[in-house]
Structure 1
Amino acid sequence: MIGFTQSVRREVKDGRLQYALGGSPPLGIAEVADLLEIERDHCYRTFEKFQALIVEQIDAILACEAEFKRGQDEA
């Protein structure tokens, strides 16, 4: 169906085909809480990986700076 932004479902009711717009049942609070807990755990793991990446980049920058300084001291 063109122009509809809500979900459209095909249903057979009383032997007749009909289209239902929207009308999805709401999620229960327990289901939402469980899903949010999973999402939170994904976020924590992602942030830990990001922090490790930052440490790796800092170490690489410091190593380059030390090598550059040694090169200047030898010159």
Structure 2
Amino acid sequence: MRTWRNDPMVRTRWILLALATPPLLLAFILGDNHDVRFTAAFVYTTGLIILLVSERIIVSTRTRPETRLANARQGSIQN
């Protein structure tokens, strides 16, 4: 399974989430208006759901043999 240390795309997505958390948290805490608080919570939750779903899809497609065969160079697979 892909982890934080050995995959740059995983690292990039989690860094983006970590960078987005403080401003959205500040907007949620300091926002006087309910619309501002709702928008900050909605944006963060949507981003988190997209991140987790994309991780699951990427992991499941990388472990399928047909995906590995399609990505292999022609002639590099032994019969």
TM-score category, normalised to shorter length: 0.3 to 0.5
Query: Which structure carries more relative contact order (alpha carbon 8 Å, separation 6+)?
Result: 2
Task: Answer 1 or 2: which has greater strand percent.
Answer: 1
Q: Which has the larger radius of gyration?
A: 1
Length-normalised TM-score, structure 1? 0.41
Task: Answer 1 or 2: which has greater helix percent.
Answer: 2
Length-normalised TM-score, structure 2? 0.39
